[in-house]
Chain A
Amino acid sequence: MRTLVKIGEKAKMAAFRAQLAWKGRRGTVAAAIARAEQKAGGPPRTGLASRDAGRRDPNRVRVAAVQMRLRLVTSGAQFAEEIYGLARRAAEQGAELVVFPEYSGVPFLGLLPGLARLPEDTTIDQAIAALTGDNAGGNGSGGNSRDDASNNATDSGGVDNDGVPISAYFRAIAPGAQPAYEAAFSEVARRLGIYVVTGSIVVPDHECTVNKAYFFGPDGQLLGTQHKTHLVPEEERWRLTPGGELNLFETPWGKIAMPVCMDATYFETFRIATLRGADIVIIPSANQEKYVYGRANRGIWPRVQETHIYGIGSSAVGRFMGLTFSGRSAVIAPLEMTPGRDGFIARAASPEEPEIVVGDLDLEALRRFRAENPLFVNGELYRRYLPALYEEARRRRERPYQ
């Protein structure tokens, strides 16, 4: 009898995997985007020769941050249509580099059988409890709340009732989600002739599970990826693993880096990126908290001021699986380079509504600014204390938290 149960379970898993593979097929995704393009009246008119890489101006680039509401999807095709629509709106405004928010791939949780049919405000923990038949389901959360300890008093601690970490569920859908995610953004980049930073998706990386961002070029080629290097408490509870490196990518406009969300809370991220030659740093974010200026202004904006570069921040907004995301996507520069001397080239009007934020970067102007305002380096001071003090300081501050 037990053998029959095992055979039955294996058969179910095989069927689930086959279904995932079907829903994530590149051909399906590409066809969906082709239909979406046709429905929109054919290829967009961008006003720029953006499909001809040889004519890109290396000193000027129009960029766009997609402020996006996350919605569960049940297929790669559905995801691709939404992504295409948003990227097309950016390309129609002349954007050559388009940025999506962190967790843009989380909607693929809808591939879990039955999840998309649950009430809209069901949390991830509650959904998993419902799907696995467990009675207990916490008030769990995801995203990047800096008040996790107090908000998650009743959460599941990152595991289901069998002690399986939440990351396992992301791994379970990855055979369908990951190829569909990659195919969708690759095809969008190729069709629109733009560079795309995808935001991020939670996927396996060998034995680990990571929060991973992708960068695609205008012919659809994958230029590189970046794992989030500084987790939040919820991601640690989910058993995600932080990335170990900060990657730089060559573009016609110089080097860019794309660390993820909480990475921008740490000046070290931006300092490493800019000393290695980055002129533009991109931060996809998904801040799970009600918008308050003081909380929201602790990431990309001050980092840009410290390092004299351009920054592009893209935020997830709205309600998703019981979570509230907020943020004002923006294109950011050193204060003195911006019209209002406030560091913003362009900024979303609302922290809660979807929007495409478009801004123009002038790399020549940035180089002039840096020449006039050189940053000071105190090598002797840094050698004395960095990086030696980090471990000791962490131990000193370590406090138990839930």
Chain B
Amino acid sequence: MPDRRAMTVAAFQLCLDLGGDTSGATGASLDPDPALDLLGRAKADGAELLVLPLLPDVGPPEEFSRRWSESARKIGVFLAVGRMAGGGVNQNVGYLFGPDGSLPLKQAQTHLTKSELEAGIVAGTDLDLAELPCGRVGFAVGTDCWYPEVNRILALRGADVILAPVAVSGPYGFWRQAAGLWEEVQQNQVFGIEAGLELPGRFDGRTAIMAPVEVTPGETGYLAHVLGPAELMDEGHATSRSEPTGAAAFVTARIDPAMLEKARKGFPIFHFFNVPLYRRWFPGIYEGGTRR
């Protein structure tokens, strides 16, 4: 296993401004060039891994890939970004580009909401990982943040960091985030980096960097949050919906494999798996079960 080390990561909240007309929200594209300045600032703050939201794009996917690959190479960082279905592609996809512009990981969203299904989006059927200096990383794209199977499989396969480019239909408040990536981070004892798209009237963002509660300020499970100090992100300050930032913003945090080691040693969740119980019911129960 390669040596692992700490990395500073940055999670971005990007706001699309369509002049108040959100009807064609998914018909817009975000040009990475104006964003380069912001990405560069994160790099200047020491970030080596940048995570961007799930973005709309109507051009060919190859062009999307080329533009963001070039951005990663120019700035010299690992850059994760999501692309919404569109432009002839019927999947929401996460891309991870390397500092040399390579593409070590590409991941389609594997679970869909009713509206995504009705829109003709197709689910991916596999979950893959890439190796970074801080550990193995995988994607939970969009809706996947709210499915424990996704994040458990990633963790079982060795993921230490889950990248989550999202565009969450509002209202998106404290409790809904707690039910999503936050909880996946806790039950798998990994890091989670959620990057949200903000589109007034359509998408709300709660960009944050998460970790097992034991290693976070105030034991809130947050290392950084775009809406305020991490140590305040608890039920006492829960809001029913987020306040829009109205601009591009990012938060940074240092993620260290030693932090996960501490959390896992303090309580070894995986040690207490009841494998005979799971073997008895998985995967057959998904076919025969009465999911309603």
Partner-B contacts on A (CB < 8 A): 146-150, 229-233, 236, 242-246, 262, 265-268, 271-272, 274-277, 292-295, 297-298, 301-302, 305-306, 335, 340-343, 367, 370-387, 389-394, 396-399, 401
Contact = CB atoms under 8 A, between A and B. Distances in A.
Given A293-B236, A294-B216, 18 more contacts: A146-B266, A147-B214, A149-B266, A150-B266, A232-B272, A266-B273, A268-B277, A272-B277, A294-B218, A297-B235, A305-B179, A335-B176, A373-B114, A376-B143, A381-B127, A387-B279, A393-B158, A394-B271
Contacts of A244: 274, 276-277
B156 interface: yes
B187 A390 contact: no
B22 interface: no
B248 interface: no
Nearest to A399: B265
15 contacts: A233-B267, A244-B276, A245-B280, A266-B187, A268-B274, A294-B221, A306-B179, A342-B240, A376-B143, A381-B125, A381-B127, A384-B125, A386-B278, A392-B156, A396-B158
Contact of B268 (A233, A243, A367): A233
A33 B287 CA distance: 48
Contacts of B264: 397, 399
Contact of B286 (A266, A275, A370, A384): A275
Interface in B253-292: 261, 264-283, 285-292
Interface stretch (B79-87, B146-154, B161-169): B146-154
A262 B67 CA distance: 47
Given A149-B265, A266-B273, A379 B283 contact: yes
B71 interface: no
Contacts of B219: 292-295
B110 interface: yes
A394 B147 CA distance: 21
Contacts of B279: 387
B13 interface: no
Contacts of B89: none
Contacts of B171: 341
Contacts of B175: 335, 341-343
A94 B281 CA distance: 37
A387 B278 contact: yes
Interface residues of B, number: 72
B273 A390 contact: yes
A202 B249 CA distance: 53
Given A275-B289, A295-B213, A380-B125, A389 B268 contact: no
Nearest to A344: B175
A246 B187 CA distance: 20
B178 A297 contact: yes
B123 interface: yes
A398 B273 CA distance: 12
B157 interface: yes
Most buried by B among A150, A233, A294, A298: A294
Contacts of A266: 187, 269, 273-274
Contacts of A302: 178-179, 183, 186-187
B170 interface: no
Nearest to A402: B265
Given A246-B277, A276-B285, A389-B153, A378 B268 contact: no
Nearest to A278: B290
Given A231-B272, A245-B277, A271-B148, A382 B187 contact: no
Given A242-B274, A275-B285, A389-B153, A293 B292 contact: no
Q: Which 8 A-B pairs rank lowest in CB-CB distance, beginning with the nearest?
A: A275-B289, A294-B213, A267-B148, A305-B179, A302-B183, A389-B156, A146-B267, A393-B156
B282 to A, nearest CB: 4
A121 B173 CA distance: 42
A375 B221 CA distance: 26
Contacts of B131: none
B178 A229 contact: no
Contacts of B240: 340-342
Nearest to A328: B235
A387 B291 contact: no
B185 to A, nearest CB: 10
A277 B268 contact: no
A231 B272 CA distance: 6
A244 B280 CA distance: 9
A379 B153 contact: no
Contacts of B292: 367, 370-371, 374
A268 B282 CA distance: 9
A147 B175 CA distance: 25
A262 to B, nearest CB: 7
B234 interface: yes
Contacts of A294: 186, 213, 216, 218-221, 234
A158 B146 CA distance: 38
A241 to B, nearest CB: 11
A292 B179 CA distance: 17
Nearest to B157: A389
Interface in B90-115: 110-114
Contacts of A231: 272
B35 interface: no
Contacts of A340: 240
Contacts of B234: 293-294
B62 interface: no
A399 B275 contact: no
A271 B147 CA distance: 11
B155 interface: yes
A165 to B, nearest CB: 18
B220 A377 contact: no
